[in-house]
Structure 1
Amino acid sequence: MSKQRLKSRRQFLQGTALSSVFLGFSLPVKAQSSLTELQQILPESMLKPGANFSNYGQPSIYEKDIIRWISANPNVPGNGVSWTPLEELQGTITPNGLHYERHHNGVPDINPSTHEIMIDGLVDTPLTFSIDALKRYPQTTKICFIECGGNSNAGWRSSPIQSAAGYVHGLVSNAEWTGVPLKLLLNECGVQPRAKWAIAEAADGAALNVSVPIEKLMNYAILALYQNGERLRPENGYPVRLLLPGWEGIVNVKWLRQLTLVEEPAMTRDETAQYTDLLPSGKARQFSFPMQAKSLITSPSVGMTLPDNPGIYQVTGLAWSGNGKISKVDVSADGGKTWVEAELQAPILDKAFTRFSLPWQWQGQYAVLQSRATDETGYQQPTREALITERGDNSFFHYNAIVSWEVNEDGQISHIYL
């Protein structure tokens, strides 16, 4: 760099020539010369006024491709999903605008000033609660994931699907949820001894309703009003949703309107015809609420290409378990023949995303990348072969097998089964 350019940069750092421009003073000849030199070395963005304030922040226009990918029923557009682009994100918290969606009949437009939650059935005193009333109760905060029971179900197919990691495994997101512990309201209503289940019903066009054990509601449930510090988004349950950390997404009922306490489950459509799996024995796997330990390498992953220059690359991804904290994640570059323990990034939270990472030296060789999570109960993420042996080939839900990314000598990455 020339001495003159160094001098100009020093002037900028000291705030001399540039401050005069901002303050609108007339410049002497020498200062004008310095300004001309600054214009030659400074980025254009620093030489003109920036954008105005905004009432609500939006992502940069240069990040417009980082979006949820929508997969909806063409005949019923309100029935479908949108996927979180896990491969495009870092850290563990999913932005509200990228949290995955699953809707059975679209997103309802609910006025919070008229919406109420009723608790009835086997209670001493049936009560209704407005949103304003809920806001006056003590609130608690929980960082946790919510995962659709159908997440990753493409893994049951006979051939591996070649889509971006988030568009196969992205029906899971992790957020900070804040709301009222449900037990406060249940205690106020007076739960009768005969009550073992509750029927939770949504205020959407599908009137979705599912059965939930009272024990879970009394010990872990939250009526969530806030997500990542702001009021829930409509697609995530505004004005209030039921939060059951670690359990499949269908029971985390959005747009909650009623809880009816009963002795037995209602055997609704979404716990009989749906969200059950036929096992090899001929019996159906039902009320399989907890999401088992799972992990996914998000980078490098399918669809990505390693650059031509071999070297050290950071293998990173996410692990989570509905049974508690992640205790370990192992990574393999040879299809599971050998494993190396990855570093877990803090904080490691209960029923929440944990990010793992490991430096990997790639010298242009063929490789198969895998990750394997173990949670604090000792449960270890199974291979695909082990999962199918246990569950058969008629399953659709709760797929949590190890995922394999094949890296060829040209650095192209694809999804394979082992």
Structure 2
Amino acid sequence: MNRRTFVAGAAGALGAGVLKGVTGVTPSLAQEAEIPVPPDPTRVQGPPASLVGSRSPFEQPVRLLHPRLTSSRTPLQDLLGTVTPSDLHFERHHGGVPLIDPDRYSLLIHGMVERPMVFTLEELKRFPSVSEIRFMECAGNFPRNAGEETTPQQICGLTSQSEWTGVPLATLFREVGVLPEATWFLAEGQDAAVMTRSIPVEKAWDDALIAYGQNGEALRPENGYPARLFLPGWEGNASVKWLRRIELSDGPFMTREETSRYTDPLTGGKARQFSFVMDARSIITHPCHPGRVTPGWMEVRGIAWSGRGRIRSAELSFDEGATWHRADLQEPILPKAHVRFRYMWRWDGEEATILSRTTDETGYVQPTQRELVQARGVGTSYHLNPITGWRIRPDGTVVYRTEVWG
């Protein structure tokens, strides 16, 4: 097999992978893309070493693009373990992805501080660094009134998990001498939207990070290269990417992104503002649409997470929530991180429904959609984390368990 034949086959496989990610169709890559496979690989010299590794042409998971190209969703149903490959981490931006020269990058910290300072990227890297495995999730990560042909990627693909590396923001705040009167800070990005959010200072002293690394390498451009704010467990938009300025103050700044956006309207003419923490949530990733199963034993598996801390339990129901069965959690169970759960279940070939819910270490239990609507009303678009599930038809096809919003 020569290089041209191999590359052509890999390109065809990528096209098939795109088809799978967008439409849910899973063609046989060897057949559809005509990937040349030697009958006996021990008798064919393989490709030489390469500068950058790549996936097998048989494995081509892809993100799902929003029609306006403002976001892309992680293929949760295609992943193994809990760490999302950097190139599959979800993305969301309001003004496109900026191109920033790391040699010209700088971060200004000023306002209610003793010593306003500017840090270059190299200066940030001189501080003691930390690395933490944490999830990130967009506040708008649930499609209301979704149809049966909906995948986990479409339900909540705006969550991903990485090992984030950087300098604790608390370290920088000590360096500049944040004044005791400062209770909020403004984080400002340098994208075309100039994304800005007000953040309580206490989050900086807790676990906020100025991240420049992701999964052992530099941040990807769509995830904030060369440096971003990362707020573990909080809604993704608050973790401002392409961070260029932090201003300390004694109150929130009431920016566009926390008044016209990312504020939840409630019943009675009220609204919920600065609802930062992402509540506990779970999703079954197998079985799921567009898969098909056969009668007998199978492993029901998925992921659970909470912005409040560790997951305490994940449960499954096969009778529309009348009874619940505790699933096994896969170690390690980290705080503010995705955790895998699994449960062995025997399907008898009759129509069935599988639901999942999770409880975190604070005792918070993932709500039903009805409980969520009763608490917040029908007008909210953010922080939606209802119990979801799948229906298995007698022919083995799996479809999303639909539920009318309201």
Using structure 2 for the length normalisation, give the TM-score. 0.88
Contact kept in structure 2, 1:335 and 1:404, CA below 8 Å:
no
Contact kept in structure 1, 2:219 and 2:226, CA below 8 Å:
yes
Q: CA deviation at 1:255?
A: 0.6
Partner of 1:338: 323
Q: CA deviation at 1:222?
A: 0.7
Q: 1:296 aligns to what SS in structure 2?
A: strand
Tell me, in whole angstroms, the C-alpha distance in 2 between the residues paired with 1:337 and 1:57: 48
Partner of 2:15: none
Tell me, in whole angstroms, the C-alpha distance in 2 between the residues paired with 1:280 and 1:355: 35
Tell me, in whole angstroms, the C-alpha distance in 1 between the residues paired with 2:148 and 2:318: 20
Alignment of 1:272 with 2:272, yes or no, is: no
Tell me, in whole angstroms, the C-alpha distance in 1 between the residues paired with 2:44 and 2:398: 43
Question: Structure 1: which amino acid aligns with 2:105?
Answer: H
Question: Structure 1: which amino acid aligns with 2:270?
Answer: K
Q: CA deviation at 1:161?
A: 5.6
Partner of 2:48: 52
Q: How does 1:15-414 map to 2 (within 5 A)?
A: 43-64=39-60, 66-73=61-68, 77=69, 80-152=70-142, 154-155=143-144, 157=145, 160=147, 162-307=149-294, 310-414=295-399
Q: Report the RMSD for the aligned CA atoms in angstroms.
A: 1.2
Moved more, 273-282 or 283-292: 273-282
Equivalent pairs counted in the alignment come to 366
Unaligned 5+ segments in structure 2 are 1-37
Q: CA deviation at 1:148?
A: 0.2
Tell me, in whole angstroms, the C-alpha distance in 1 between the residues paired with 2:150 and 2:56: 25
Q: 1:224 aligns to what SS in structure 2?
A: strand
**Alpha-carbon deviations, 1:336-374, whole Å to 9, x = none?**
111110000000000000000001100101111011100
Contact kept in structure 1, 2:151 and 2:400, CA below 8 Å:
no
Using structure 1 for the length normalisation, give the TM-score. 0.86
Contact kept in structure 1, 2:283 and 2:389, CA below 8 Å:
no
Tell me, in whole angstroms, the C-alpha distance in 1 between the residues paired with 2:73 and 2:151: 10
Contact kept in structure 2, 1:84 and 1:173, CA below 8 Å:
yes
Tell me, in whole angstroms, the C-alpha distance in 2 between the residues paired with 1:362 and 1:370: 14
Q: 1:211 aligns to what SS in structure 2?
A: strand
Q: CA deviation at 1:305?
A: 1.3
Question: Structure 1: which amino acid aligns with 2:189?
Answer: A
Q: CA deviation at 1:253?
A: 0.9
Partner of 1:13: none
Tell me, in whole angstroms, the C-alpha distance in 2 between the residues paired with 1:391 and 1:56: 49
Q: 1:184 aligns to what SS in structure 2?
A: helix
Q: 2:55 aligns to what SS in structure 1?
A: coil
Q: 1:63 aligns to what SS in structure 2?
A: coil
Tell me, in whole angstroms, the C-alpha distance in 1 between the residues paired with 2:201 and 2:183: 5
Distance 1:55 1:408, change over 3 A: same
Tell me, in whole angstroms, the C-alpha distance in 2 between the residues paired with 1:220 and 1:347: 20
Tell me, in whole angstroms, the C-alpha distance in 1 between the residues paired with 2:237 and 2:386: 21
Alignment of 1:415 with 2:400, yes or no, is: yes
Q: 1:238 aligns to what SS in structure 2?
A: coil
Contact kept in structure 1, 2:148 and 2:399, CA below 8 Å:
no
Q: 1:281 aligns to what SS in structure 2?
A: helix
Q: 2:82 aligns to what SS in structure 1?
A: coil
Tell me, in whole angstroms, the C-alpha distance in 2 between the residues paired with 1:391 and 1:59: 44
Contact kept in structure 2, 1:121 and 1:261, CA below 8 Å:
yes
Q: CA deviation at 1:256?
A: 0.6
Tell me, in whole angstroms, the C-alpha distance in 2 between the residues paired with 1:328 and 1:104: 36
Tell me, in whole angstroms, the C-alpha distance in 1 between the residues paired with 2:384 and 2:233: 15
**Alpha-carbon deviations, 1:199-243, whole Å to 9, x = none?**
100011111101000000122111111111111111111101111
Contact kept in structure 1, 2:148 and 2:402, CA below 8 Å:
no
Tell me, in whole angstroms, the C-alpha distance in 2 between the residues paired with 1:333 and 1:45: 45
Q: CA deviation at 1:114?
A: 0.6
> 4+ runs of 1 displaced by more than 3 Å?
none
Q: CA deviation at 1:281?
A: 2.0
Unaligned 5+ segments in structure 1 are 1-41
**Alpha-carbon deviations, 1:168-208, whole Å to 9, x = none?**
21000011111101111111111112211111000111111
Contact kept in structure 2, 1:335 and 1:367, CA below 8 Å:
no
Percent pairwise identity? 46
Larger Rg: 1
Q: 1:254 aligns to what SS in structure 2?
A: coil
Q: CA deviation at 1:54?
A: 1.3
Tell me, in whole angstroms, the C-alpha distance in 2 between the residues paired with 1:417 and 1:386: 16
Question: Structure 1: which amino acid aligns with 2:97?
Answer: V
Tell me, in whole angstroms, the C-alpha distance in 1 between the residues paired with 2:375 and 2:193: 33
Q: 2:301 aligns to what SS in structure 1?
A: strand
Tell me, in whole angstroms, the C-alpha distance in 1 between the residues paired with 2:222 and 2:374: 37
